[in-house]
Structure 1
Amino acid sequence: MKKAWLALVFGSALFLAACGGGDEEATNTNNETENTTTENETTNEGTSGETAAAEGEALVRETCATCHGGNLQGMGNTPSLADVGSRLSEEEIHDVIVNGRGGMPGGLLQGEEAEAAAAWLAQQK
């Protein structure tokens, strides 16, 4: 019984570590995305909707791609996010981001970041 419990705890720790971490390449990509967003805000001051969408996309790719795949196609037992907007409303997506669901931990994004990510994901159909 102790071995089974230890295996469960160890397996859970590995799973959570895989979902929460990033690598140097992801960090460099995030910096490039943030710089692009800043440039867009500077050159397209009248397109705040486009800037918000770009911010939502950057947040999703930065935070969710580790577990859901680079193209958000889903990996292993994580669902695809590529067409999540056809399955869930923006409010439902926001709820999953903030509170988690199944094996996904909640709270990875909060506040305006969660709203921006949910809005962008809701557009993915």
Structure 2
Amino acid sequence: MDDKALIAALVEGYLTAYEARDDVGCASFYTLGALVLSPWAAPLRGRVAIADAHRDWFSEEERNKVMTIKDLKIDGDLAVCLLRYNAETDNGPVFGASLHTLERQSDGGWKIQHTSLHELEDETTGFEEE
């Protein structure tokens, strides 16, 4: 499997864990010292903090979450991935984007090293076509 396919599989695996409300499973896609930044909370550092945050996020009852890779650049053992996401909630749909830095692992797989989350107003904001 090539690197793009491995990273796409990582995104799908994360979504599977998210839909199962598996906080530890979601955190397992991150490196041990990973950092997550968002406008909704203090920075999260490490898998324990990331798992704890996912438990809180699950209480928001997002469902049918979809994540689409909008751009992916791989340079050796590092990659940068821009994702767009949307989900349904009891209060209507939510839209967002996330920027990830990924690091190749010793087994050849990939893990997320840094994440920056951003809320978007709708399904098109911030993604103008070139």
Structure (1 or 2) with the greater helix fraction:
1
TM-score, normalising length from structure 1? 0.26
Relative to total residues, which structure has the larger strand share, 1 or 2?
Answer: 2
